[in-house]
C-alpha cells in the first residue's frame, strides 16, 4: 500500500533546519535573506525600535506598506532591539550563539564596536557563518566609507552603458544592492555546503562595487 502526503502538509525545504540572524536595512542584505527564507530558513530580522528598517518609509503602495520593503522581507520574523542598550545587545548575542548564519549590512565598523565582528564571533563559535555586505568590502582604501546604490552604479561604470554621455541614466531598480544580495546569498549556500563537509563555518565579505563590476 502506498501512502500519500496530505496536501495540507508543507513540503520540506532545503534550509528548514537553518536559523539566520540579520542586522539589515534597505535592499542588499534583506534581498539576500529573503531568498534564504524562501528556501525554508528561519530568518530573524533585527530592526531599530519604533522606526524599524528605513525602507519601511520608501512609499506606501503595497496596501499601505512600502513596496520595496514587502518585496524583500517576506517570510521573516522581526525583532526590535536597541543595540546601544547593553541588555538588548546581550539578547542579540544570545540569538547569534544559537544561529547558523549572521548577515549584516550596517555602517562600516559598527559590528566591530559592538563586539559582533566575524573574528570575535567565530572565535566563540567556529561553525558560525558570518556574511558582511558593504559598499567596498572589509579591506582596501575605501573600507570605512559608506555607500549607496546610485553611487556604486556610477563608480562601477554601470552608468556608462545607460543613457547618453551627456545625460547618464541610472537603472530603474537598485541593481547594485541586488547584485550584492545575490552574491551574498549564493556564497552563504556554498558556505553551508562546505560546513556540512568540514564542520567549519566561514567569513564572507561581499562588496557592492565588486558585485556590480562583475555584471
- Direct distance between the N- and C-terminal alpha carbons of the chain, in angstroms, rounded to an integer: 53
Buried b (16+ CB within 10 A) or exposed e, 53-83: bebbeeeeeeeeebebbeebbeebeeeebeb
Catalytic-labelled residue, pool 53, 117, 149, 177:
177
Q: Three-state secondary structure along 134-166? A: ECCCCCCCCCCCCCCHHHHHHHCCHHHHCECCC
pLDDT for 125-149, tens place per residue?
Answer: 999 999 999 999 999 999 999 999 9
Assign 3-state DSSP to the chain and report helix, strand, coil percentages, each to 5. Answer: 40, 15, 45
Q: What is the pTM of this model?
A: 0.92
Q: What percent of the chain has pLDDT over 90?
A: 81
Mean pLDDT over each residue of the chain, to the nearest integer:
94
On the question of pLDDT at 24 being above 60, the answer is: yes
Give the 3-state secondary structure of residue 42. strand
Instruction: Determine contact, residues 177/166, Cβ cutoff 8 Å.
Output: no
The answer to whether residue 177 is catalytic is yes
- Domains, the chain, ordered by start: 19-214 (3.40.50.10540)
Q: Which of 73, 65, 68 is nearest to 47 (CA)?
A: 73
Question: What span, in angstroms and rounded, lies between the C-alpha atoms of 11 and 148?
Answer: 38
Helical (H) or strand (E) element with 7: none
Cβ atoms within 10 A of the Cβ of 48, count?
14
Q: What is the pLDDT of residue 115?
A: 98
Amino acid at each position: 500500500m502506498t501512502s500519500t502526503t496530505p496536501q495540507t502538509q508543507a513540503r520540506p525545504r532545503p534550509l528548514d533546519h537553518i536559523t539566520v540572524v540579520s542586522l539589515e536595512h534597505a535592499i542588499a542584505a534583506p534581498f539576500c535573506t529573503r531568498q534564504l527564507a524562501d528556501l525554508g530558513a528561519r530568518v530573524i530580522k533585527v530592526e531599530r525600535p519604533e522606526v524599524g528598517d528605513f525602507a519601511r518609509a520608501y512609499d506606501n503602495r503595497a496596501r499601505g506598506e512600502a513596496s520595496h520593503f514587502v518585496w524583500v522581507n517576506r517570510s521573516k520574523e522581526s525583532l526590535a532591539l536597541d543595540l546601544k542598550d547593553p541588555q538588548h545587545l546581550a539578547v542579540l548575542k544570545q540569538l547569534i550563539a544559537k544561529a547558523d548564519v549572521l548577515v549584516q549590512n550596517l555602517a562600516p565598523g559598527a559590528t566591530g564596536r559592538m563586539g559582533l565582528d566575524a573574528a570575535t564571533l567565530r572565535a566563540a563559535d567556529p561553525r558560525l557563518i558570518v556574511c558582511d555586505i558593504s559598499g567596498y568590502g572589509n579591506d582596501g582604501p575605501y573600507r570605512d566609507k559608506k555607500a549607496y546604490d546610485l553611487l556604486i552604479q556610477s563608480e562601477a561604470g554601470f552608468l556608462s552603458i545607460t543613457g547618453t554621455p551627456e545625460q547618464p541614466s541610472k537603472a530603474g531598480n537598485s541593481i547594485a544592492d541586488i547584485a550584492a544580495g545575490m552574491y551574498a546569498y549564493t556564497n552563504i549556500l556554498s558556505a553551508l555546503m562546505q560546513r556540512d563537509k568540514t564542520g567549519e563555518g566561514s567569513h564572507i565579505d561581499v562588496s557592492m562595487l565588486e558585485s556590480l563590476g562583475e555584471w
